[in-house]
Amino acid sequence: MTSTSQIIAPGLNKQGLSRNQNKQKLTKGDVAVGTASHILLIVWTLIVAVPLLWVFMSSFKTTKQILDSPFGLPSKLDFTNYVNAWNGSGIGSYFANTLIVVVSALIIVMILGAMCAYVLARFKFFGARAIYYLMLAGLTFPPFLAIVPLFKVLQTIGLLNSLPGLILTYVAFALPFTVFFLYSFFQTLPDEIYEAAQVDGASEWRTFFQVMLPMATPGMAAVAIFNFLGLWNQFLLPVALNSNQSNYVLTQGMAQFASQAGYSVDFGALYAAVVITVIPVLIIYVFFQRQLQGSVSQGTSK
């Protein structure tokens, strides 16, 4: 119990009370507030967790079992639904498309974003400020305003309904966020190291890729995780700009299920597809939970 409290409130724990002093008798008020708090938290946890667990359970049931009773347990651990979703409903190819688009866009946007943020943060030149504000504007404007002209732009350059077109737009729309956050990161790096590299005769390219970029790794990692989640979950851009079904990404496959729901949809496959879509983000979440929540905290503590 004491160990939990220390993890939860490291910043609040400075006054050096010994652990024994924490074990003072609880007052009636403490017990009442504590109980009420726990009930509240437990109810909320159930509201969050139960639908997710229910979906997971349902993904092993046959469509008939699903329609018979929402609570019935699956008769056996049966992966038929997963096979059906993967092959029959095209989730397999959507998964591959998503992976190609997201990974390519992520790599490109991290490199381009880092270069752009680096130049903006380290060199003073005419227009630097304007470019920075332009990025900020791109971050705040609703993408819906741009979607129709964007359709036209992609059509004109012949990249509409293609994976490269989708990758490029993903990069463009993830760029402001990436630049914005890496900008403040590059600003904190000491000037001396840049100067040392220059004195040693490193070219600008070398200074950037071998000296400055490795120093920015923590910032890059945090931004990359957020970008991965954002791009993996991206919906509007593919729905509007990628209507060729063989190029669908996972979120579009999900939308397809949504629009079929109520008709003769294979419910078992639907639940399996949901699980397949969530698993990559779940893995990212489990591994990077600390960084994710930490970055949220950092953003506010300025």
Partner 1 sequence: MAVFLILPLAIFLLFVIWPFVQAIYYSLTDWGGFSPTMNFIGFDNFVKLANDDTFMQAVFNCILLGIFVPLITIVVALIIASVVTVAGPSKGTIRGVKGSGFYRTVSFFPYCIPAIVIGLIWSQVYDPSAGLLNGFLTSIGLHKFTNFAWLGEVATAMPASMFVIIWGFIGFYTVLFVAAIKSIPAEIYEAVRLDGATRFRTAWSITLPSIRDNIQTAYIYLGIAALDSFVYMSALFPNAGGPANTTLVISQDLFNTAFRKGQFGYATAMGVVLAAITLLFAAIVFGIVRLTKGREEGRS
The only residue of 210, 233, 244, 246 in contact with partner 1, by rule CB under 8 A: 233
Min dist CB 14 to partner 1, Å, is 6
The only residue of 149, 190, 201, 214 in contact with partner 1, by rule CB under 8 A: 149
Looking at the Cβ atoms of 193 and 261, the one nearer to partner 1 is 261
Task: Tell whether residue 198 is a contact of partner 1 (CB under 8 A).
Answer: no
The only residue of 91, 224, 254, 269 in contact with partner 1, by rule CB under 8 A: 254
Reduced to 3 states (helix: H, G, I; strand: E, B; else coil), residue 258 is helix
Task: Tell whether residue 201 is a contact of partner 1 (CB under 8 A).
Answer: no
d(CA 271, CA 257): 10
The tally of CA atoms less than 13 A away on the side-chain side of residue 33 is: 5
Helices and strands: H and E segment counts in the chain: 16, 0
The only residue of 66, 105, 163, 272 in contact with partner 1, by rule CB under 8 A: 66
Min dist CB 301 to partner 1, Å, is 5
- The size of the chain, in residues, is 302
Task: Tell whether residue 168 is a contact of partner 1 (CB under 8 A).
Answer: yes
Task: Tell whether residue 43 is a contact of partner 1 (CB under 8 A).
Answer: no
Task: Tell whether residue 67 is a contact of partner 1 (CB under 8 A).
Answer: yes
The residues in 72-111 that bind partner 1, with binding defined as CB under 8 A, are none
Looking at the Cβ atoms of 37 and 246, the one nearer to partner 1 is 37
Task: Tell whether residue 187 is a contact of partner 1 (CB under 8 A).
Answer: no
The only residue of 93, 138, 221, 291 in contact with partner 1, by rule CB under 8 A: 138
Looking at the Cβ atoms of 100 and 119, the one nearer to partner 1 is 119
Task: Tell whether residue 297 is a contact of partner 1 (CB under 8 A).
Answer: yes
d(CA 78, CA 273): 14
d(CA 81, CA 105): 31
d(CA 205, CA 208): 5
